[in-house]
Structure 1
Amino acid sequence: MASAPQNLPLFYQALEPLSSQVHADHRIRPQETAPFLIGQHAVPVTVDEFPLVQRHMPIVFSSGDDAIPLALMGLNEGSNVFVDGEGKLTETNFYVPAYVRRYPYMLARLRPEADELSLCFDPTSPSIGVFDEGDRLFENGEPSEVTKQILAFNETFEQAGQRTQQFMNELREQGLLMDGEVTIQIDGNAQPFIYRGFQMVNEEKLAGLRGDQLRKMSQSGMLPLLYAHLFSLSLMREIFARQQATGQMPAPQLQPAG
């Protein structure tokens, strides 16, 4: 069996290549809850998802040179206002990011020098195993229709990830990212809640773009995505209010949002 990558992505406890020989008798079954989401306040998203995500969650960018887009499900570490104590969604009309829906599967290189990506899964997930019920992963030694659909979804996700990387490269080249800060003052508290530790688009620089720069962004479809991000920031206060209502509030101090 090939060894899994050393640095595992968010949510993944282990990675194992899906094999028609090793997993011939494995099935998958739907899960009503996602315990791995409990307390997870930020989830990666792709640019393809910005138009849908911005209706439900703030979109920010992580700190550092290798920033990625994040959907905030809470403003504080350990807070997720969209799932209950069992990991069940509390919203009926809610967009679940593809990164979450992808789990426990993902495409990964089995060796650093490998060119191809292989479909892998997290063997610690309760959704896949040797069960009496559920959909088979393989039939007569071949991937089942369900497995083909899983593979197709992961391939689409990887393609969206490449577009997201190009989007982020363009943001860096244009110097449009800046350190973000949100201050929320509530009645009865002498000190405000100040959220930092994330990046956002610099509206002043964006408004100052001229000529070829602006035309390039408009033609590539990048401009609407930037405004989707900026519009979504107004949801910070809504997330904050949800944290208040569910008792997920720390003492007022500097808090990492990204």
Structure 2
Amino acid sequence: MATQPPASMPVLYTRLEPLSSTMHANFKHRALETAPHLVKINAVPLTIDEFAVTQRFMPIVFAASQVPVPIALMGLNEGVNVFVDDDGKPYAPFYVPAYVRRFPYLLARMNPDNQELTLCFDAESGLVAPSEEGDPLFEDGKPTEGLNNILKFCEEFEVAANRTEQFARELLDLDLLIDGEVAIDPPGARQPFIYRGFRMVDEQKFRDLPGDKLRKMSESGMLPLIVAHLFSLGLMREIFTRQVDQGKVPNFAENMAPAAA
């Protein structure tokens, strides 16, 4: 599941540039206490390694795409993130998915005919640049320990992403995924707030699986992942409540207004 630059950029990224010891010899990595790049992001890809902890903070659903990649919902509406304020400062501590922690770096296949992956960075992020502040990426033309740690993290992410893609394909093979829909009907609303555009495991199909398949899923590690996904869906209403409190539910006031006589 390596990112391939170009046509459409992955979530969070704007312009990818291969990191080079010659072109970027004096570049440094600058850490931020806030995450302004997250403010308008309501969903990010998630690896199966993160299901256990993510289920405590965010709903885990699947993208409505050919390969249904797991995603963590940080808001129910596009452009809404209930975990950070308008400056990107967290409202409270929460689990930050590895996809976000990897930013502004990622491993990308620069040539479709070549399987080799290249460490790239988002040149528009402002986090990697020639600066007096920050941690150097190269010293005497060689990667620093910090850069080696960044590369290792990106490599581990790719390994986890490949396992995640296999998990998603197995869900497809078992025909367990259905189009998701959540209806939230707060007291006094004229009509429910309906959320679609994602996929989820069909609980009935899951319960009806024969014992031998459930045993194999338990042995392979799929079973606890599905349970974590289903358990996390209960957080949809909590995310909705946060959006209401933050004034970020589109048409909320209109829907809650008294019906005309």
Which TM-score tier does this pair reach, normalised by the shorter chain? Answer: over 0.9
Residue 46 of structure 1: aligned partner? 47
Question: Within 5 A, what are the aligned runs for 1:166-185?
Answer: 166-185=166-185
Residue-by-residue CA offset, 1:7-42 (whole Å, 9 max, x unaligned): 211111111111000010011111112111112111
Q: Secondary structure at the match of 1:242?
A: helix
Matched, 1:153 2:158: no
- In the aligned structure 1, how far is the partner of 2:249 from the partner of 2:7? 34
- In the aligned structure 1, how far is the partner of 2:194 from the partner of 2:6? 37
Offset of residue 190 of structure 1: 1.1
Residue 99 of structure 1: aligned partner? 99
Offset of residue 211 of structure 1: 3.7
Identity value in percent: 56
Offset of residue 73 of structure 1: 0.5
Offset of residue 96 of structure 1: 0.1
Q: Secondary structure at the match of 1:194?
A: strand
Q: Secondary structure at the match of 2:106?
A: strand
Offset of residue 246 of structure 1: 0.4
* Structure 2 counterpart of 1:141, one-letter code: G
* Worse-matched range after superposition: 199-208 or 59-68: 59-68
- In the aligned structure 2, how far is the partner of 1:186 from the partner of 1:8? 37
* Worse-matched range after superposition: 209-218 or 138-147: 209-218
After TM superposition, the score normalised by the length of structure 1 is 0.94
Residue 248 of structure 2: aligned partner? 248
- In the aligned structure 2, how far is the partner of 1:65 from the partner of 1:132? 45
Question: Within 5 A, what are the aligned runs for 1:11-26?
Answer: 11-26=12-27
- In the aligned structure 1, how far is the partner of 2:5 from the partner of 2:191? 46
Residue 258 of structure 2: aligned partner? none
- In the aligned structure 2, how far is the partner of 1:237 from the partner of 1:210? 32
Aligned structure 1 segments of 4 or more residues deviating by more than 3 angstroms: none
Offset of residue 6 of structure 1: 2.6
- In the aligned structure 2, how far is the partner of 1:127 from the partner of 1:65? 33
Aligned length: 250
Residue-by-residue CA offset, 1:148-181 (whole Å, 9 max, x unaligned): 0000000000000000000001000000001111
* Worse-matched range after superposition: 64-73 or 40-49: 64-73
* Structure 2 counterpart of 1:232, one-letter code: S
* Structure 2 counterpart of 1:112, one-letter code: P
Matched, 1:130 2:127: no
Contact 2:47 / 2:160 at 8 angstroms: preserved in 1? yes
Matched, 1:81 2:74: no
Residue 61 of structure 2: aligned partner? 60
Q: Secondary structure at the match of 1:106?
A: strand
Offset of residue 62 of structure 1: 1.2
After TM superposition, the score normalised by the length of structure 2 is 0.93
Residue 213 of structure 1: aligned partner? 213
Matched, 1:10 2:11: yes
Residue 36 of structure 1: aligned partner? 37
- In the aligned structure 2, how far is the partner of 1:86 from the partner of 1:101? 17
**Long gaps (5+) in structure 2:** 255-261
- In the aligned structure 1, how far is the partner of 2:60 from the partner of 2:193? 19
* Structure 2 counterpart of 1:106, one-letter code: L
Residue 237 of structure 2: aligned partner? 237
* Structure 1 counterpart of 2:161, one-letter code: G
Residue 194 of structure 1: aligned partner? 194
Q: Secondary structure at the match of 1:214?
A: helix
Offset of residue 212 of structure 1: 3.1
- In the aligned structure 2, how far is the partner of 1:203 from the partner of 1:245? 31
Q: Secondary structure at the match of 1:148?
A: helix
- In the aligned structure 1, how far is the partner of 2:227 from the partner of 2:72? 15
Q: Secondary structure at the match of 1:187?
A: coil
Residue-by-residue CA offset, 1:85-134 (whole Å, 9 max, x unaligned): 11111112x10000111110000011111111010001111111111121
